[in-house]
Amino acid sequence: MHVLKSFYQGKVYMSKQSFHHALRFSKFFAAALLVITAASCACKDSHAHTRQNNNKNNEVADAGVIQIRQIKKAKAVVHGVNDNKVRGTVTFTKVSGGVKIIADVVGLTPGKHGFHIHEFGDCGKNGEAAGAHFNPMNQKHGGPDSLERHVGDFGNLEADSHGHAHYERVDKFIELDGKNSIIGRSIMIHADEDDFKTQPSGASGARIGCGTIEIENE
């Protein structure tokens, strides 16, 4: 009976020992699972951080591309309004010290003709849809070299006896991009001479030629 009791006691003892082994194993397994889970979360966080950094780098790169792709040249094709036969081209090129304007226009009467940039790029309604002179700084009308002038005040084109006018100037007021951008506005030629004094447009008369200023691809 003593041996049998010992046997049973041993059996009971072994059963408890197995239980403790199982308990220790389960604790070990749980700890390992926590380590794996933590590592997985850390990996996800690392990937998310990497993606975030990549997105920021892409944004910086995109900003750099935008800066590189600054507008360097624009052009307006002039056509007659109010039944006039005026036609020509006006180009605008970014150069050191400003924007170079070159105009070649035919179909004019000999003499001087007011030459301006107007607010809107719409030449409809016989040029009236173009609005007033481009004047973002709310200045008085003047000549191209006046201390106070509209951004769009270019003075006059002067046509020869054949009705051809050529104009060149580097202007410091206009911009191809920025707050004084002329892109999407219109170039306007008037019937009469701009006197640089009469407000608000120099008494330059009717609108006879108009063209929308657009970016020119290089």
Q: What pLDDT, on a 0 to 100 scale, did the predictor assign at position 56?
A: 46
- The catalytically annotated residue of 113, 141, 149, 185 is 141
Domain locations in the chain as residue ranges: 1-69, 73-215
Domain 73-215 has CATH 3.40.50.2000: no
Q: What pLDDT, on a 0 to 100 scale, did the predictor assign at position 62?
A: 44
- The catalytically annotated residue of 113, 149, 185, 207 is 207
* Residue 2 falls in the annotated catalytic set: no
Q: What pLDDT, on a 0 to 100 scale, did the predictor assign at position 169?
A: 96
Q: What pLDDT, on a 0 to 100 scale, did the predictor assign at position 8?
A: 40
* Residue 192 falls in the annotated catalytic set: no
* Contact between residue 177 and residue 101 where contact means Cβ atoms under 8 Å apart: no
- The catalytically annotated residue of 113, 153, 171, 194 is 153
* Residue 113 falls in the annotated catalytic set: no
* Residue 185 falls in the annotated catalytic set: no
* Residue 162 falls in the annotated catalytic set: no
Q: What pLDDT, on a 0 to 100 scale, did the predictor assign at position 27?
A: 57
What is the sign of the dihedral through the CA atoms of 41, 47, 53 and 58?
Answer: negative
- The catalytically annotated residue of 113, 149, 150, 185 is 150
Predicted confidence pLDDT, tens digits, the chain (218 residues): 444 444 344 444 445 555 455 556 555 555 555 555 555 555 445 445 445 544 544 443 344 444 446 889 999 999 999 899 999 999 999 999 999 999 999 999 999 999 999 999 999 999 999 999 999 989 999 889 888 899 999 999 999 999 999 999 999 999 998 888 999 999 999 999 999 999 988 889 999 999 999 999 86
* Residue 153 falls in the annotated catalytic set: yes
User: CA-based diameter of the chain, in Å?
Assistant: 142
